[in-house]
Structure 1
Amino acid sequence: MEKTFIEALAFRHACKIFDETKKINDEDMTYILEAARKAPSSFGMEAWKFLVITNEELKAKLKPVCWDQAQITTCSHLVIVLAGIEGVKPESGIPEKRFARRDMPQEKLDFYLGLYAGHLKQTLSSDENIYAWTAKQTIFASQNMMMAAAIKGIDSCPIEGFDKEKVEEILGLDTTKYQLSLILPFGYRINPQSTQLRLAFEDVVEYIK
Structure 2
Amino acid sequence: RLTNREYDGDEDSFGPDEHDTVSFVHDRIFLHKALRINYTTYDMRRAQDTINPRIRSDIMLLAPHEDDEDDNANGHPYWYARVIGIFHLNVKHRGFLSKSKSAQRMDVLWIRWFGRDTTAPGGFETCRLHRIGFINHDAPNAFGFLDPKQVLRACHILPCFAYNFTAEYLPPSIARQPEERDMDYVYYYVGMFADRDMLMRYIGGAIGHK
TM range (shorter): under 0.3
Relative to the length of structure 2, the TM-score reads 0.26
Structure whose residues are more often strand by fraction: 2
Structure whose residues are more often helix by fraction: 1
